[in-house]
Amino acid sequence: MSNEKQAAYWNEIAGPKWIKIGDAMEARLANITQLLLDTAAAKPGETILDVGCGTGTTARPLSEAVSPAGHVTAVDISTPMLEVARTRGGPINYLQADAQTHNFSPTKFDLLASRFGVMFFEDPVAAFTNLHAHLASSGRLCCITWAPLAQNPHWQIPFNIVRAHLGEPEPRHPHAPGPLAFADAAYVNYILAKSGFSRITVTPTAISIIGESLEAEARMATLFGPPGALLEEKQPSPETREKILTEITTALSPFQTGTSLSLPATVNLVTAYH
């Protein structure tokens, strides 16, 4: 496997964390999931590869869309997340593998789909070259990645609070594997063109994240994304962590109206063709 670090991270750290709060996470990402499904527009009879499928949230509706003659293969490197996906049923081939190197032959896919599953490759050109090789000549790619941090207040606000308490994160390459690896639209265009794709579009798309509550959203911010990564790096005391959590809760309150919590976000909607 070429993505040993990411495999370890998603098997030992991120995967188990996601599973613990999975229902809440999926609820907050519902608008983004629907954006992927609407844009991908899977059709009956198509063969689909869901890249970085996680617990199967996108694989299941994709499978329903292509039934009864179509088929979905859903690939991920996380054992715990795939175990959850398999318990949820559906005629889906859940495959634990590294999509950067795995040979999916003899299948040729009509659609490569992914919601936040393609930003973690150690070598994205190698990964997308491999995926392109398994795409039918008439096939298409549809995936969603995060836009820059500054366009995502649900992360930027908590990140600023964490940074104020704990200091700057260790320097890292802006395109290093992680949630913001594909934030730069020009970089995404370069990767896909280098990998053989054509008719590439990267469209920054404003969308709302629906939070369960201020407290739940603040806690989510301390577990995932840039603020969660900075907390994991710095390992503050429980007292400091609790203070940060309280400040994030307060800082997100302007986005609450009554019992409704809607946080502005921006994603990159990426489409391309063989």
Q: What average pLDDT does range 32-43 have in this prediction?
A: 98
What Cα–Cα distance (Å) separates residue 101 from each residue in 43, 112, 126, 180, 259? Answer: 27, 15, 8, 22, 46
What is the domain count for the chain? 1
In the predicted structure, residue 1 carries a pLDDT above the cut 70? no
pLDDT band for 156, please (50, 70, 90 cuts).
Answer: very high
pLDDT band for 4, please (50, 70, 90 cuts).
Answer: confident
What pLDDT shows up at residue 19? 87
Strand duo 198-211 + 260-273: pairing: antiparallel
* Structure tokens, 38: 């609407």
Contact (Cβ atoms closer than 8 angstroms) between residue 212 and residue 24: yes
Contacts of 89 (CB under 8 A, 6+ apart): none
Q: What average pLDDT does range 47-67 have in this prediction?
A: 96
What pLDDT shows up at residue 145? 98
Strand duo 256-257 + 71-76: pairing: unpaired
Rounded distance between C-alpha atoms, residue 149 and residue 159, angstroms? 9
Nearest Cα to 159, choosing from 261, 233, 90? 233
pLDDT band for 24, please (50, 70, 90 cuts).
Answer: confident
Rounded distance between C-alpha atoms, residue 222 and residue 80, angstroms? 21
pLDDT band for 260, please (50, 70, 90 cuts).
Answer: confident
Does residue 236 form part of some domain?
Answer: no
pLDDT band for 10, please (50, 70, 90 cuts).
Answer: confident
Does residue 69 form part of some domain?
Answer: yes
What pLDDT shows up at residue 102? 95
pLDDT, tens digit (0-9, with 9 covering 90-100), for 96-128: 999 999 999 999 999 999 999 999 999 999 999
Overall size of the chain counted in residues: 274
In the chain, % of residues over pLDDT 90: 86
What pLDDT shows up at residue 6? 86
pLDDT band for 83, please (50, 70, 90 cuts).
Answer: very high
Residue that is written with structure tokens 């959590």 in the block: 245
Contact (Cβ atoms closer than 8 angstroms) between residue 77 and residue 7: yes
pLDDT, tens digit (0-9, with 9 covering 90-100), for 157-179: 999 999 999 999 999 898 999 99
Does residue 202 form part of some domain?
Answer: yes
pLDDT, tens digit (0-9, with 9 covering 90-100), for 179-210: 999 999 999 999 999 999 999 999 999 999 99
What pLDDT shows up at residue 49? 98
Nearest Cα to 121, choosing from 77, 75, 76, 177? 177
Does residue 112 form part of some domain?
Answer: yes
Rounded distance between C-alpha atoms, residue 202 and residue 92, angstroms? 29
Q: What average pLDDT does range 142-161 have in this prediction?
A: 97
What pLDDT shows up at residue 155? 95
pLDDT band for 14, please (50, 70, 90 cuts).
Answer: confident
Which H, E and C letters describe the chain, residue by residue? CCCHHHHHHHHHCHHHHHHHCHHHHHHHCHHHHHHHHHHHCCCCCCEEEEECCCCCCCHHHHHHHHCCCCEEEEEECCHHHHHHHHHCCCCEEEEECCCCCCCCCCCCEEEEEEECCCCCCCCHHHHHHHHHHCEEEEEEEEEEEECCHHHCHHHHHHHHHHHHHHCCCCCCCCCCCCCCCCCCHHHHHHHHHHCCCEEEEEEEEEEEEEECCHHHHHHHHCCCHHHHHHHHHHCCCHHHHHHHHHHHHHHCHHHEECCEEEEEEEEEEEEEEC
Does residue 253 form part of some domain?
Answer: no
Q: What's the CATH number where 40 sits?
A: 3.40.50.150
Rounded distance between C-alpha atoms, residue 83 and residue 93, angstroms? 12
Does residue 136 form part of some domain?
Answer: yes
What pLDDT shows up at residue 244? 97
Does residue 233 form part of some domain?
Answer: no
In the chain, % of residues over pLDDT 70: 99
pLDDT, tens digit (0-9, with 9 covering 90-100), for 243-254: 999 999 999 999
Q: What average pLDDT does range 219-235 have in this prediction?
A: 94
What pLDDT shows up at residue 23? 83
What is the domain range of residue 194? 4-149+173-210+261-273
Can the peptide bond before residue 238 be classed as cis, meaning omega within 30 degrees of 0?
Answer: no
